[in-house]
Structure 1
Amino acid sequence: MIQQEKFDQVFDLMKMSFPESEYREYKNQRKLLSDRRYHLLTEENKQGEVIAFLAGWEFDTFRYVENIAVSPSIRGGGIGKRLMERFMRQSTLPIILEVEEPQDDLKKRRVRFYERLGFYLGDFKYVQPPLREGVLVLPLCIMSYPEKLTESQFEFVRKVLYREVYNFNNLSTQRH
């Protein structure tokens, strides 16, 4: 189990890297550490401070990258790529992640980053259920590795994510 101090550093980096709607409140994020399927990979500097992390889930048929972040002062130096490659090497299961729709240069660069690692941008509409009270669903895209998802694979992945990651069971109202 990750130490409290390290978790606090991960959470601080999460707050710096994502809009509030894209991560859980502290107590709910911390609670995930007791779920055997949830894993945190961290990268630390020489002083032992967390400078990057990857939060992922291990399910029976696929793995899911929930968050990956690198400290803003050192982005672009290859740490995110190393974390992703480490996660990818840990299992032979397919990997799923969510990205924002590639509508501007920054979002397109993120998609290209994952494509260079072998991920495919999906063709099916997807929304991320809210991670906090009072937050709306967020339109995102699913990327997959090592192959593009078929529609039935996408539907299966979506149902697992909604149920297990988001604790969201009202699937019928979220189809787009």
Structure 2
Amino acid sequence: MNKLTCTNCAAANSANAKYCSKCGHALPQFRTEINTESVQTHKSGSSKIILGLVLGLIAFGLTSWAVQQIFFAPPSFDKVMMAAASELNKSCPMMVDQYTRLDNTIAMPNNSFQYNYTLVDIDRANVNLDTMRKYVEPSIINNVKTNPDMKIYRDNQTTFVYYYKDKNGEFAFKVNVTPEMYE
């Protein structure tokens, strides 16, 4: 059991006494105080650690996402179409059949891909272009629907434009194949 020592006469007193049993002098009162400063520092230190961990995780997540987007993101479909047009254009002009020559291809805005053809033996003045268009259009639509090489374009809702010129380089007709036509 704890004893209090009187500061006046050095007598031992019980721990809960207020006055010295020998001289009657007031005994010092020792209070057990919780050092709130150290508790607050401890809490404050814990808060700082937790805050640091949370901010570190957020920074790591954002950095990881940015690296993924910059270095590992797949190219946009516009870039895929431009690359395909460039690759096709390397072998142009190219005869598709005895009447048709593919002059070049163009990746157009709004997810459109244009094929530019020349009808090598046809003069627009000597042919009914509406009849020719009605003959060619179903074949083009069927090709877009069934050609496995066109799947990536179908999946990305690409509009195909087939632009035809006659042997003199004058506009003959154009066929647009929209996603609604090949789905």
Question: Normalising by the residue count of structure 1, what TM-score does the alignment of the two structures yield?
Answer: 0.24
Question: Normalising by the residue count of structure 2, what TM-score does the alignment of the two structures yield?
Answer: 0.24
Structure number with the bigger relative contact order (C-alpha 8 A, sep ≥ 6) is: 1
Select the structure of larger CA radius of gyration.
2
Name the one with the larger helix percent.
Answer: 2
